[in-house]
Structure 1
């Protein structure tokens, strides 16, 4: 019984840990070899928490794409400010994935998000 209680307590601790910007994983890869280059972007929340980060913004320069991107997934609001998932929470292991077309890859980096704070 004690082992089960310890396991339950450790699960509870993991589920109530606080998330940080390091829990938002951003990766890009080139998809096409001819024509206008296409890049696949994947944004994943790796934080195990009951409270998902929301209002996630990335640094994105003058991000633009020849291919239309669903603005509910990713939208440039102004220079160097792009909104992910329409500002909605991005749950644990959930992924936002989209493809954009441009002659070069735009560097994308975490800018800000709202994270739940946990009671101590």
Structure 2
């Protein structure tokens, strides 16, 4: 995965600034594997979340996502096939992250499908 070294540039909001990391964690007591997911807003420019703005309505491709461990639906939930919503649609601020854990026999391939830009709020 390539990360834009000039992400402090003009800060145009884009789904390319949302990065999804996933790693295995300790299994449940019944042996079902668990995974920790972090969804990060790597954009640090002015148009990416400074002063109350952010990248919002982050949707991930997620297949038929389900989990043997309860995932807070305000953090991550499946809306339909291959469409999961992050952070209840609220903005992820510049440099911010949302994380959660799930349990399933195999990891899901999670990738960003769409985002919406929330402009910064100025007094």
Separation in 2, partners of 1:80, 1:102:
16
User: What 5-or-longer segments of structure 1 have no aligned partner?
Assistant: 1-13
Q: TM-score, normalised by structure 2?
A: 0.78
Larger CA Rg, structure 1 vs 2: 1
- Residue by residue, what CA displacement relative to the aligned partner does 1:61-111 show, whole Å, maximum 9, x if unpaired? 000000000001000000000000000010011111111000000000000
User: Could you tell me which residue of structure 1 aligns to residue 99 of structure 2?
Assistant: 97
Could you tell me how far 1:32 is from its partner in structure 2?
2.1
Indicate the structure with greater helix content. 1
Matches within 5 A, 1:1-120: 14=8, 17-32=11-26, 35-48=31-44, 49=46, 50=50, 51-115=53-117
TM-score (structure 1 length as normaliser):
0.80
Task: List runs of 5+ in structure 2 lacking aligned partners.
Answer: 1-7
Q: What is the deviation of 1:17?
A: 2.1
List structure 1 runs of 4+ shifted beyond 3 angstroms. Answer: none
Aligned residue pairs: how many? 104
RMSD: 1.8
